[in-house]
Amino acid sequence: MSKGDFSDAARGWMDFISGGLSHLGSAMAYMMDCYSGLSAARRRQIEEEAKTCLLEDIIDLPHPYVCDAWGNPDLGDAFRREPKSKIPALFISGTFDVRTPVSNAEEVRGGFPDSEHLIIEGAVHSDPLFLSSPQIKEVMLEFLKGQKISTTRIVLPPLKFEPLKK
């Protein structure tokens, strides 16, 4: 793609959309993102960063565009204000999660004085938590039992990339 050949990506996209609406999943996930919205500053940041990214803002598709179909129900900046709670919280992040990166959890954690952050090296968004490492479940159970978690970092085996079929 860096040389202008997007044919493999186009084939992958066509395979995805030819599956019909079954690939879209539940509207709930879309609505959660639409209602959460983003601040004007975050939107400007995305627009600026997209100018220098090979695929521009494709990682955010179908957001924010799909939100227009539901009347763009953004709850506004008051909803996005820094949450605060004294209730114990366990944040779990993957280092390969581009939708909700580790830095997002660290930012939100500022309002949770009794929190822990488990970082999973090599995990993506929606990582199958109980499948990628049994240690994740162990740490979650420690937290739920009110114990100090035994680790704040779990390293998964490296991802294996296979070339697209032509």
The candidate with the shortest Cα–Cα distance to 118, out of 138, 32, 159, is 138
Q: What is the pLDDT of residue 82?
A: 86
For the chain, what are the domain ranges? Answer: 7-77, 82-155
- How high is the mean pLDDT in each 10-residue block of the chain (166 residues)? 72 65 69 84 85 76 73 85 94 88 92 96 76 89 96 90 79
d(CA 65, CA 46): 14
d(CA 133, CA 154): 8
Q: What is the pLDDT of residue 142?
A: 97
37 sits in the region (left: phi over 0; alpha: psi -120 to 50; else beta) called: left
The candidate with the shortest Cα–Cα distance to 28, out of 59, 73, 81, 60, is 73
Q: What is the pLDDT of residue 109?
A: 95
Using DSSP's 3-state secondary structure scheme, residue 91 falls into strand
**Is-above-0.85 flag for pTM?**
no
Which residues make Cβ contacts (< 8 Å) with residue 119, sequence separation at least 6? 93, 94, 95, 102, 152, 153, 154
d(CA 107, CA 100): 11
